[in-house]
Amino acid sequence: MESPSPDDPDILHVLLVEDDSFMMMSLKLLLKNIASPSNGSTEDIPLAMEVHTATSAEEAMGVLSSRTIHIAVVDIHLPGANGYELSETFTYAFQDSSTVFIACSSSPEVALLHRHGMHDILQKPVSVAALRRMIFKWMPRVTVTVPSPLTHLRTNDGGRVRVLYVEDCAISGMAARAIIEQLGVQLDIAASGSAGLEKLRSSRVYNLVIIDLMLPDMSGYAVCSAYKDYCFQKGVDPAFTLALTAEAVPEASPPSDFGFSRCLLKPLSSATVLKLFEEFATFTKNSLPAEATSTAVPVTSLDAPTAFTSPPR
């Protein structure tokens, strides 16, 4: 992902995440009324407003991870991943983000809001007065600067590092892509164990493999075991392989027994990924001989940044 450019500080970016076409149209009309009031209201928003839309959590994650969004008004009941999963995944992945998430529901569960990264509630049906109050309450008061771009990871021969992420949750994959690609790393995502094995057995050379242990067709343990067996049969060294899980790993079957180098807890955050790549660079430099011919190309150059940037804002 290219380094972000600062946005115009005089524009308020609002994202509407709603799968109902009538409700989406209503919210857009309400925002238009707020941005350009025709009733002579003295409560004009001091910023120009740009409205972005998405009809699913997956589409919204694409918008959130690629550009500035100040306020996201999110329907809780979305097809696929719900609004809570969207806000929780994004706010954890980009902990320095200033995006405000507002839950929009006819029956919001207040106790769940802050637990999942939501900041406030809009009760459906939404009135222009309620939406206006919410915009004024949460609109940015200061200009947020964009951190300096990151130094890219490179392999021994100066090429890009390639990572395979085997994960069936689309929004988790999109969040990981937004974080990892800031390092200039090339990321491939497989949505199932069989798809991951197909990529691992292809002609692609991966430096790092991250596998979710809970996949829809086969376990991450099985994927890693099959991959390590394949490498053994081919006489090549496997890539640095990590297990990813949302639950505590049973002591009776640790990931290391199945060929994993390490186990990480979900969800991935920018801080976790940064630490991982620093550790990965050290591991490959110290453990693989310079003359080795391997599917795991060692990474020997990493000028570690102090932090990942959140999406441009």
**pLDDT tens-place string over residues 158-188:** 667 889 999 988 888 888 888 887 777 888 9
Looking at per-residue pLDDT, the higher value among 30 and 312 belongs to: 30
pLDDT at 117: 78
pLDDT value, residue 43: 55
pLDDT value at residue 284: 53
3-state SS, one letter per residue, for the chain = CCCCCCCCCCEEEEEEECCCHHHHHHHHHHHHHHHCCCCCCCCCCCCEEEEEEECCHHHHHHHHCCCCCCEEEEECCCCCCCHHHHHHHHHHHCCCCCCEEEEEECCCCHHHHHHHCCCEEEECCCCHHHHHHHHHHHCCCCCCCCCCCCCCCEECCCCECEEEEECCCHHHHHHHHHHHHHHCCEEEEECCHHHHHHHHCCCCCCCEEEEECCCCCCCHHHHHHHHHHHHHHHCCCCCEEEEEECCCCCCCCCHHHHCCCEEEECCCCHHHHHHHHHHHHHHHHHHCCCCCCCCCCCEEECCCCCCCCCCCC
Q: Is the domain of 42 the same as that of 87? A: yes
Out of 38-47, 109-118, 171-180, pick the least confident. 38-47
**106/174 same-domain check:** no
Local confidence band at 200 (pLDDT 50, 70, 90 cut-offs): very high
| Tens-digit pLDDT profile for residues 115-161 | 777 888 888 889 888 998 888 888 875 433 333 344 556 666 666 78
How far apart are the C-alpha atoms of 136 and 141, rounded to whole Å? 10
121/169 same-domain check: no
* Residue 228, domain extent: 154-301
In single-letter form, the type of residue at position 271 comes to A
**What is the pTM assigned to this prediction?**
0.63
| 110 vs 267: which has the higher pLDDT | 267
20 and 49 belong to one structural domain? yes
Tens-place pLDDT, residues 69-95: 999 999 999 988 899 899 988 888 887
Task: Tell me the pLDDT of the chain averaged across its residues.
Answer: 77
Is 258 a domain residue?
yes
Is the per-residue pLDDT at 305 higher than 50? no
Output the pLDDT for position 252: 62
Same-domain check for residues 158 and 293: yes
Q: How many domains does the chain have?
A: 2
Q: What are the Cα distances from residue 233, in Å, to 228, 229, 238?
A: 9, 6, 11
**Residue 145 placed within a domain:** no
**Assigned domain for 92 exists:** yes
Residue 191 and residue 110 share a domain: no
Higher-confidence position of 197 and 178: 197
Give the residue-averaged pLDDT of 252-273. 79
Are both 297 and 163 inside the same structural domain? yes
